[in-house]
């Protein structure tokens, strides 16, 4: 799908085509791919940070409650940092 979107740019930069026939993805296919991507991203966030923290962060961001959101993002960042070590 990337090659289909970027074929002319890749060709202009000297990249050879893959040899595969061009992939045609319709509007419905693009929406399905986007929806699946969003769904798996949310599932991953819930698995990493827990449903309560993910829900609070989403609500605070959507409502524009910046102080609350900053605290929640700090909590998320701490979890990420703990898992890096």
Which domain covers residue 54, as residue numbers?
50-85
Q: Give the C-alpha separation, 60 to 53, whole Å.
A: 11
Q: What confidence score (pLDDT) does residue 34 get? A: 94
User: What is the mean pLDDT, run by run of 10 residues, along the chain of 85 residues?
Assistant: 74 82 85 96 97 98 97 97 90
Q: What confidence score (pLDDT) does residue 61 get? A: 97
- Based on the structure, what is the number of domains in the chain? 2
Contact 53, 80 (CB under 8 A): no
Q: What is the pTM of this model?
A: 0.69
Question: How would you label 34-62 residue by residue, b for 16+ Cβ within 10 Å and e otherwise?
Answer: eeeeeeeeeeebeeebeeebbebbeebee
Q: Are residues 44 and 6 in the same domain?
A: yes
Q: What confidence score (pLDDT) does residue 19 get? A: 79
Q: Give the C-alpha separation, 23 to 69, whole Å.
A: 41
Q: What confidence score (pLDDT) does residue 15 get? A: 83
Q: Are residues 44 and 54 in the same domain?
A: no
Q: What confidence score (pLDDT) does residue 1 get? A: 65
């Amino acid at each position: 799908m990337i090659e289909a979107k970027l074929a002319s740019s890749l060709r202009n930069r000297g990249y050879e085509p893959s040899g595969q026939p061009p992939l045609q993805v319709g509007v419905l296919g693009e929406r399905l791919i986007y929806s699946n991507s969003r769904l798996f991203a949310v599932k991953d966030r819930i698995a990493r940070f827990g449903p309560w923290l993910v829900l609070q962060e989403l609500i605070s961001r959507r409502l524009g409650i910046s102080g609350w959101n900053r605290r929640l993002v700090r909590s998320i960042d701490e979890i990420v940092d703990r898992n890096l070590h």
